[in-house]
Amino acid sequence: EAQVTQNPRYLITVTGKKLTVTCSQNMNHEYMSWYRQDPGLGLRQIYYSMNVEVTDKGDVPEGYKVSRKEKRNFPLILESPSPNQTSLYFCASSLRTGSALGSYNSPLHFGNGTRLTVT
Amino acid sequence: SQKIEQNSEALNIQEGKTATLTCNYTNYSPAYLQWYRQDPGRGPVFLLLIRENEKEKRKERLKVTFDTTLKQSLFHITASQPADSATYLCAHYSSASKIIFGSGTRLSIRP
């Protein structure tokens, strides 16, 4: 089954304790992205990756790191979590994006989310 | 800056009626608009895409329209059912790397 898998689903941690949220997709998608979703603010992009070893900042990258060593995996790293990073996080992937005709319409496939609480 | 807006107020309608949700965009003209469904605590799920040269797109009980003059897309669910209750998001690619989402409209269908 084609899917984006995030782990863990729920995570409670303390300020400053490094954590990693994993994301894996089995659809051979080039594009992957991380979002956070907060009440009243909608989905905001944290980081994205156009392909292996190509990553870039989204709208709210502060306090986060990512890596894309393999096409299928795109982990989100919080080196020193703070309470303002308490949120619902989603990983997403799509077939491709780019300037070529027809590529500005690839739907995003989302994981089931990771609810992170930082105390 | 590019902005995509949805009515943030919840929409409550009676089962069997047609639900209509609105997506407005300003300061740009997207070539495509996408619609997603999101259930509480779950990731959005893609439903439909409509191109700017398409007036209307249908999929089962779903219909999407795209009015480039009004800068608006409407999303209709006909013969609505309680299982259609969810938050619906419109979205578009503002660049090759970035998709912008509206804040979503929560739809509740009462039996």
- The 10s digit of each residue's pLDDT in A51-72 is 999 999 999 999 999 999 999 9
- Residue A8, min C-alpha distance to chain B (Å): 13
Beta pairing partners, B101: B91
Q: What is the pLDDT of residue A97?
A: 54
User: Which are the contacts of B60, defined by CB distance < 8 A and separation ≥ 6?
Assistant: none
B44 touches chain A (CB under 8 A): yes
**CA B71 from centroid of its chain's CA atoms:** 13
- Say how far residue A86 (Cα) sits from the centre of its chain: 15
* B57 residue type, one letter: K
Question: How far apart, in Å, do the first and last CA atoms of chain A sit?
Answer: 36
Closest-CA residue of A relative to B50 is A105
A115 with B41: Cβ contact below 8 A: yes
The whole-angstrom distance between A30's CA and the closest CA on chain B is: 11
Q: How far is B14 from chain A (nearest CA, A)?
A: 26
User: Could you tell me if A95 lies within 8 Å of chain B, comparing CB atoms?
Assistant: no
Sequence-distant (≥ 6) Cβ neighbours of residue A27 within 8 angstroms: A2, A3, A4, A93, A95, A109
- What are the DSSP calls for B6-75, one per residue? E--S-EEEETTSPEEEEEEEESS--SEEEEEEE-TTS--EEEEEEETT-SEEEETTEEEEEETTTTEEEE
Of A42, A88, A107, the CB nearest to B34: A107
A85 phi, psi to nearest 5 deg: -95, 5
CB contact under 8 A, A56 and B32: no
Which position has the token pair 């639900």?
Answer: B19
Contact between chains at B93 and A105 (C-beta distance less than 8 A)? yes
Q: Which amino acid is at B30?
A: P
In order along its 111 residues, chain B shows pLDDT tens digits of: 677 889 878 999 999 999 999 999 887 777 788 999 999 989 999 999 998 888 899 999 999 999 888 889 999 999 999 999 999 999 987 776 788 899 999 999 999
State the pLDDT at residue A101. 46
Q: Which residues, at least 6 apart from A113, have a Cβ–Cβ distance to it below 8 Å?
A: A6, A9, A37, A88, A89, A90, B41, B42, B43
CA of B101, closest CA in chain A: separation in Å? 6
Q: Is A103 exposed, middle or buried (0-12, 13-18, 19+ CB in 10 A)?
A: middle
Residue A83 DSSP code: G
> With a cut of 50, which residues of chain A have pLDDT below it?
99, 101-102
A27 close contact with B: CB closer than 8 A: no
